[in-house]
A = this chain, B = another copy of it.
C-alpha cells in the first residue's frame, strides 16, 4: 500500500481544524486522511466531467480554451459536474457557459476513465438547432468546424479526441452506442 492516499494532499481536518493522520479505518481497504482529534474521515473520490458533441448541419461546435490546463487548445463544451444537477444538466450548463449555446442533448456517447486526473468524462451527442452561439468566459473563440476541417493535433485532451472520433465513427456507421475507454 502507498504511504498516503491518492489525490489532493490534506493536512488539516475540515470539521475541527486539527492535523490529520493517514490510516486505513476499520472495515476500509484504502488509506485515508483521518482527523487526529475528531476522527473525521476525509474522502476524495473521482470527479465527473460532463460534456457533449454539438452538431449543426455537418459542423461541430468547438471552443478554444481560455484557461489552463491547455489554454489555446480546442475542446467540445465540457466541465465539472456540480452538486444539485444531473449529468445531462451539467453538460447543458457547460455548453451555455463555454459557448453561450442552447443544445438539445441526444443519447449517451462515451464514458472515458481519465486515470491520472481521477476523473470520469461523460459525453452526450447533441444537436445545435440554429447556428447561434458566442464566446463564453472560459473560451477565447467558439466556432462551428466542418467535420473534415477538425485540427486533431490542436484538441486539448485525449478524452475530447476520443469523444469526437467516436461521434464521427458512429455517425458514419449509423450506430448509437455508448463507447467506454480508459486513458492511463
Interfacial residues, chain A to chain B (CB-CB below 8 A): 5-8, 10-19, 27, 29-30, 42-48, 80-84, 86-88, 97, 108, 111, 113, 115, 118, 120, 122, 137-138, 178, 180, 182
On whether the beta carbons of B88 and A180 are closer than 8 Å, the reply is yes
On whether the beta carbons of A83 and B27 are closer than 8 Å, the reply is no
Chain B residues contacting A97 (CB-CB under 8 Å) are 29
Q: A6-B84, A12-B15, A84-B115 are in contact. List 11 more A-B contacts (CB 8 A).
A: A7-B83, A12-B14, A12-B17, A13-B14, A13-B17, A14-B14, A17-B17, A83-B118, A84-B118, A108-B180, A178-B178
Chain B residues contacting A30 (CB-CB under 8 Å) are 82
On whether the beta carbons of B6 and A17 are closer than 8 Å, the reply is no
